[in-house]
Structure 1
Amino acid sequence: MEVQALLITFREALEALLIVGIITSYLKRVNHKEYTKYVWLGAGLAVLASAGVALLFQVVFTGFAVMGSETYLKIAIMFISVILLTQMVFWMAEHSRDMKKSVEGKMDRFITTENVVGMVIHSFLVVLREGVETVFFFAAITHGNLGAAMQGWGAATGIMIAAVVSYFFFKGTMRVPLKTFFKVTGAFIILIAAGLLVQGISMLQDLNIIGSVMPHVYDLTWLLPEHPIDYEHYLRDHGVAPIFSGNVGVFLKALFGYSAMPSLEEVIAYVGYFVVIYLLVTSRHAKETRNAEQKEADAQALGPKTKNVV
């Protein structure tokens, strides 16, 4: 869970800090540093609002627990988180290139109209979006126990790493491009999303909401048990210890949704998720290639006409 929390907070905090950093750096560059305080005001209010969302969510979850329906809420959160995590990765991949230009364009309009309220609201919404997403993802990886995620070392470490990366980026001393950072963290986020998808399906099968054609496609307990209890049971029943500890299985299950005895539906969902991701990536790449070729063709067609006019 801690590694999941680290990756999620690093990703979310980095996105928020980058946008706020772009805004404040631009204001400094155009000699309007007096507006910086309003940007940080909006960001600070968003942090407080995110804490309020976390508190509200915990209250709602407790209400579901009292009614005995918290399991259904957990499953819903997992599936929604899969969609949000996937969307987050693709959104950043698509908008990271023109993010700076877009943010600076908005700031120009705010400065021209002296729209201080607009600056506060803009920075507030940027940071609030990341905060709300973090709350939701924490709920998914902890099954509703937000306090466990927020108090652990993963969340704090993720924020600190994001702050350090942002600092060196804006100081111009960071050697590794942010695009590479987003690709690497994006790959891990996709793995986390796939794991949540499989865990959600497993919980549905445990509740007998959906059945299974083949409850156990294979059994890797002898190699890597899913839990220390599975390790002890295997040792008791077979007289031989599994190759790897059950603690490793717990870690991989929490991070990637590992299952020592997955059902056929879990395997199909896991593999199918990556097939869908692959199709989305190749489709986006093909679209970018077509757009680049079209721009090049338009430029070549415009060249001779320009020469004739001259």
Structure 2
Amino acid sequence: MLSNYLIGLREGLEAALVVSILVAYLVKSGRTSLLPRVWVGVGIAVLISLGFGAALTYGPRGLTFEAQEFIGGTLSIVAVGFVTWMVFWMARAARGLGGELRGQIDVAAEGSRWGLVIVAMFAVGREGLETALFIWAATQAGTRETVGSVTPTWEPLLGAGLGILTAVVLGYLIYRGAISINLSRFFTWTGGFLIVVAAGVLAYGVHDLQEARFLPGLHDVLFDISDTIDPAGWLGTLIKGVFNISMVTTKLEGLVWVLYLVPTMTFFLRGARRRTAPKDTARVPAA
């Protein structure tokens, strides 16, 4: 639940920052009449994201077990790819995000009446679709059956929902100028955590492909600590919920986990050290 809360918080705050910048710039430039177009774009993006999440959840159920596992594993790997790209992109673009969006607003405001709707829809929809896909993949990983135990689906969804709600509140406070956030530090810490979560989701995706008989080694177990750590106990729930690591892990899962986590985290932390500076604390919409 904690990992899904932080996923919802980070991804939700990215979208909230985008909306805050859009709204604040229109208000400051005296174009409040265009605000409804922003909200229409945001509403369309939210509906598309919810529909995408529903399709992921209920779509594959009529297929065979192998087909479901193949689709689930493939989408988990795709989700990891999107999130990894977004973690690195947001870390680089956090400082210049406001200027880029304001330029898009100026172009859209002078064009067709749907231009601003499209800007808002794509800006928020990108985050929404990525969030829906990654939360779905993380939820699938967190609900894997282990020794007859399964985590209730509502727990990760509740965690993600609370994270998104927190992000909305923070976005509003940033817009009002009530708080300031060190964006580089925030995106560094949450980005590093998401990389750890993504490693677990990637390993789970590989397990799904093994279940689908697309990849070998399903019964070639690297470690089985289910007798030592109760999967239904607090420690097993914490390990599975935060790191998406199963109590029974195959050798291929473990290899993929290490090969993704070590180089990705190394490159990310090196880039974060180069970008870190005290002046990154800012009230973004006021820029």
TM-score band w.r.t. shorter chain:
0.7 to 0.9
Deviates more, 1:122-131 or 1:165-174: 165-174
The verdict on how the C-alpha distance between 1:262 and 1:166 changes in structure 2, with shifts beyond 3 A counting, is: same
The Cα shift of 1:257 comes to 2.4
Which stretch has the larger CA shift, 178-187 or 97-106?
178-187
Aligned to 1:189: 194
The structure carrying a bigger helix percent of its residues is: 1
Aligned-residue offset at 1:287: 8.9
Q: Paired residue for 2:175, among 157, 170, 179?
A: 170
Percentage of pairs with the same residue: 29
Distance 1:212 1:196 in 2: 18
Partner of 2:262: 275
In 2, Cα distance between equivalents of 1:213 and 1:141: 20
Q: Aligned in 2, Cα 1:287/1:254: closer, same or farther, shift over 3 Å?
A: closer
Cα distance per residue 1:204-233 (max 9 Å; x no partner): 4455544449944455456534x13xxxxx
Secondary structure of the equivalent of 1:262? Answer: strand
Aligned-pair distance for 1:103?
A: 0.6
Q: Secondary structure at the match of 2:46?
A: helix
Query: TM-score scaled by structure 2?
Result: 0.80
Aligned counterpart, 2:92: 94
Match status 1:251 vs 2:238: yes
- Tell me by how many angstroms 1:56 deviates: 3.3
Q: Is 1:21–2:1 an aligned residue pair?
A: no
With 93-102 and 253-262 compared, the bigger mean Cα shift is at 253-262
TM-score w.r.t. length of structure 1 = 0.74
Counterpart check, 1:198 vs 2:214? no
Q: How many angstroms does 1:279 deviate by?
A: 4.7
1:44-55 alignment runs, 5 A limit: 44-55=43-54
> Using the alignment, how far apart are the partners of 2:19 and 2:251 within structure 1?
46
Give the corresponding residue for 1:241: none
Distance 1:249 1:286, change over 3 A: closer
- Distance in 1 of aligned mates of 2:273 and 2:242: 31
Alignment-mate amino acid for residue 243 of structure 2: F
Q: Does the Cα contact within 8 Å between 2:66 and 2:213 map onto a contact in 1? A: no
2:229/2:236 contact within 8 Å kept = yes
Counterpart pick for 1:160 among 165, 173, 185? 165
Amino acid in the other structure paired with 1:190: I
Residue aligning to 1:118: 115
**Cα deviations across residues 68-127 of structure 1 (Å, max 9, x unaligned)?**
62111111122111111211211111211110010111112233x254311011101112
Change (3 A) 1:122 1:57: same
Query: Using a 3 Å threshold, how does the CA distance of structure 1 residues 151 and 268 change in structure 2: closer, same or farther?
Result: closer
Alignment of 1:5-84 (within 5 A): 5-65=4-64, 69-84=67-82
Question: Which residues of 2 match residues 259-298 of structure 1 at below 5 A?
Answer: 259-281=246-268, 284=271
Specify the SS of the correspondent of 1:271.
Answer: helix
Tell me which residue corresponds to 1:297. Answer: none
In the aligned structure 1, how far is the partner of 2:57 from the partner of 2:254? Answer: 32
Taking a change above 3 Å as real, the CA distance of residues 257 and 150 of structure 1, as seen in their structure-2 partners, is closer
Question: Structure 1 residues 60, 152: CA separation in 2 closer, same or farther (over 3 Å shift)?
Answer: closer
Whichever residue aligns with residue 17 of structure 2, its letter is L
Determine if contact 1:214/1:264 at 8 Å carries over to the other structure.
Answer: no
Q: Structure 2: where are the runs of 5+ without partners?
A: 144-151, 277-287
**Offset at residue 172 of structure 1 (A):** 2.5
Determine which structure has more spread, i.e. the larger CA radius of gyration.
1
Q: How many residues align?
A: 267
The offset of 1:158, in angstroms, is 1.0
Q: Is the 8 A contact 2:70 2:208 kept in 1?
A: no
Distance in 2, Cα, partners of 1:168 & 1:186: 22
Q: Is the 8 A contact 1:218 1:261 kept in 2?
A: yes
Unaligned runs of 5+ in 1: 229-245, 290-310
Q: How far is the alpha carbon of 1:9 from its aligned partner? A: 2.0
Preserved contact between residue 139 and residue 156 of structure 2 (Cα < 8 Å): no
Render the CA deviation track for 1:34-73: whole Å, top value 9, x for unaligned. 11111111111221222222333344322335x7621111
Task: Give the number of the structure with larger relative contact order, counting CA–CA contacts within 8 Å between residues 6 or more apart.
Answer: 2
**RMSD, aligned CA:** 3.1
Secondary structure (helix, strand or coil) at the match of 1:174 reads coil
- Mapped contact 1:149–1:155 kept (Cα < 8 A): no
